[in-house]
Amino acid sequence: MDWKIISEDKDIIKILLIAVPREIIDGYTTALGEAGLTPVAFETTALSLVRLIEKEGSRTLILELQREHAVLTLTKGKLIEASSIVSLVAEEGEAAGLPYLIQTIQKMLSFYETKHKEEEKVQTIYICGEGATQSAVTEIAKASGRQVKPSPIPIENLPKGKELGFAVVSSLAMKEITAPKDVNTINLLPPSIQEKFDRLQTQWINKYLLIATTAITSIVTLSALGALIYLGSLQASLQSEKLKLEPLPAETGRVIKDTEHLNRDAETIVKIGKKTAFPQTRLAIILPNVPEGVAIVSIALDENQKKLRLVGRAQTRTNLLKFRENLEATEMYSQATLPLSSLEQSENIDFVLNANMQ
């Protein structure tokens, strides 16, 4: 037994409940087991038939016509309103065959259309199964007064002319297999078989996972091995490239040493040459500034101290002061000083003059 929720309103939940005698399921299970197969789902023919026309939406009768029996299902969308199995083999005192089936169809339609007068009538009867011949279609249409059509078949490329015989099978093929506990589907699979199936499925999943893990590990191993081999060959080629490199020329060491020596010498020249001063310029500034009446007997220039020392004789103090004034007027000399002793006499003065040099 299994059930599924068909619709769910605020106050009403419509549930479809289907039960099949245990013996029937066991019979199928045993047969499949002996064939080495494990069933994954069971459902009634009525459900398979409804799946074929559920998209229609309107109230419809679908009929599977086999050699010995027929399944009649009155549907509206996914809802099964009535279902009946009609035997086409005559039993004692009963009608049989197509006339009996037509009679049952008429009864079913009459019953439901009388009961639900205000609701839509069945306009179309869909037919499928091995016995769905053209003559059967014509007869049912004529007797029922409804349009009779072959049921839609969801699978293509079936044997030509035998498509309707595969209607239920093709509907089953379209079924999404879910466990019996799913509230939105019907699966009449017994729990014991479901457990066995789940166990087998888990084993298969584990096996596939293990195989997948092995495959991934193998890929990683191969990739790492490939990378190692590649790096090894790269290393070898670099080593050989290194060996092929010509050694530095023998003169390199000498050239570097010479360059360093030259750089050091150049640095010396630049630093020393920048502050070099020769005395000619200084003398050339002093001499024109010596006035008449002043004679220089000694000039001492100290480039380290930047000091000038002049020794000489001036005829008059005025001449001497003029000389000092002239020197201070130049840009090269400043702070020219005369000792007081040099100024004591007014004439014929032996003097010493000190000054700073720029």
Partner 1 sequence: MDYRKFFIPAILAVNIGLILADIVMLSLLPQRSHEIVVKRSEILAQKLQAQSSQKLVADLNATKPEQEKISQALPNEDKLIEVIQFLESLKEISQVKSFNFVSDTPVKDTSGFSFLPLNLAFEGSLPLAMAALTRLEKSPYLITIDTTRVESPSGISEGSTIQVALRIYVSEPFAKD
Residues lying near partner 1 in the complex (CB under 8 A)? 207, 210-211, 213-214, 217-218, 220-221, 224-225, 227-228, 231-232, 234-235, 238-239, 241-242, 245-246, 248-249, 251-252, 255-256, 258-259, 261-262, 264-266, 268-269, 271-273, 275-280, 283-284, 287, 295-304
Measured from the CB of residue 53, what is the shortest distance to partner 1 in angstroms? 46
Measured from the CB of residue 320, what is the shortest distance to partner 1 in angstroms? 15
For partner 1, the closer CB: 162 or 274: 274
* Separation CA 266–CA 260 (nearest Å): 10
For partner 1, the closer CB: 169 or 234: 234
Measured from the CB of residue 247, what is the shortest distance to partner 1 in angstroms? 9
Measured from the CB of residue 310, what is the shortest distance to partner 1 in angstroms? 10
State residue 141 phi and psi, 5-degree precision. -60, -45
* Separation CA 138–CA 127 (nearest Å): 11
* Separation CA 125–CA 104 (nearest Å): 13
* Separation CA 214–CA 207 (nearest Å): 10
Angle between helices 97-115 and 134-144 (to 10 degrees): 40
* Separation CA 150–CA 66 (nearest Å): 14
Measured from the CB of residue 71, what is the shortest distance to partner 1 in angstroms? 43
Measured from the CB of residue 321, what is the shortest distance to partner 1 in angstroms? 20
Which residue bears the tokens 């699978």?
A: 155
For partner 1, the closer CB: 24 or 216: 216
Element (H, E) at 353: strand 347-357
Q: Are 356 and 302 in contact (CB under 8 A)?
A: no
For partner 1, the closer CB: 281 or 335: 281
State residue 102 phi and psi, 5-degree precision. -60, -40
Measured from the CB of residue 347, what is the shortest distance to partner 1 in angstroms? 18
Cα first-last separation, the chain: 122
Element (H, E) at 303: none
Measured from the CB of residue 301, what is the shortest distance to partner 1 in angstroms? 4
For partner 1, the closer CB: 67 or 306: 306
* Separation CA 88–CA 98 (nearest Å): 7
For partner 1, the closer CB: 103 or 214: 214
Total residue length of the chain: 358
Measured from the CB of residue 260, what is the shortest distance to partner 1 in angstroms? 11
* Separation CA 352–CA 255 (nearest Å): 56
For partner 1, the closer CB: 238 or 329: 238
Find all residues with CB under 8 Å of 354, minimum gap 6, and list them.
Answer: 307, 308, 309, 310, 336, 337
For partner 1, the closer CB: 31 or 236: 236
Which residue bears the tokens 């099949």?
A: 20
Taken in order 46, 47, 51, 54, is the CA torsion positive or negative?
positive
For partner 1, the closer CB: 17 or 250: 250
